[in-house]
Amino acid sequence: MTTTDELLENFELLGDWEERYRYLIDLGRQLPALDPADRNEANRVEGCMSNVWLKGGFDDGSPPRLHLAADSDAIITRGIVALLRELYEGRTPSEVQELDVGELFERIGLVEHLSPTRQNGLYSMNERIKALARE
């Protein structure tokens, strides 16, 4: 689980947005492979221009912790979903609800460097994760 402070620090260490995009691409490449059987309509995130699949659930611990698996067919989007996975993985349902990634992504400048369709996709992925925590 990456903390918001760690994410801010990582992005501050990177110079321009070309380096930051490379960082996102690297995160996407490191994303564990999603089981091909999970690349289905039930796991597809609506509102994303590219295909994004997101599967998640909570373990039986006390408190339960979120575990996510995800993938995308677009390299930058795969990096974004990997970043979201890093931020949410291992959090409790209440921690998932409290985390404001929109504000965080604005602080690192990510939102202003994404096309409107990628911004919509980002918010759709985030809302899908929040919905998992509400279930």
Q: Which residues contact 108 (CB under 8 A, 6 or more apart)?
A: 7, 8, 11
Q: Which of 48, 54, 82, 122 is catalytic?
A: 48
Question: What distance in Å separates the CA atoms of residue 51 and residue 10, rounded to the nearest whole number?
Answer: 27
pLDDT at 64: 95
Is-catalytic flag, 48?
yes
Q: Which amino acid, 8?
A: L
Top CATH class of 4-134 equals: alpha beta
pLDDT at 1: 57
pLDDT at 47: 85
Domain limits, the chain = 4-134
DSSP state letters, the chain: ---HHHHHHHHHHS-SHHHHHHHHHHHHHHSPPPPGGG-SGGGBPTT-SS-EEEEEEE-SSSS--EEEEEEESSHHHHHHHHHHHHHHTT--HHHHHH--HHHHHHHTTTGGGS-HHHHHHHHHHHHHHHHHHH-
- pLDDT averages per 10-residue partition of the chain, 135 residues: 76 84 91 94 90 94 94 92 93 93 83 82 91 87
- End-to-end Cα, the chain, rounded Å: 21
Question: What distance in Å separates the CA atoms of residue 19 and residue 85, rounded to the nearest whole number?
Answer: 20
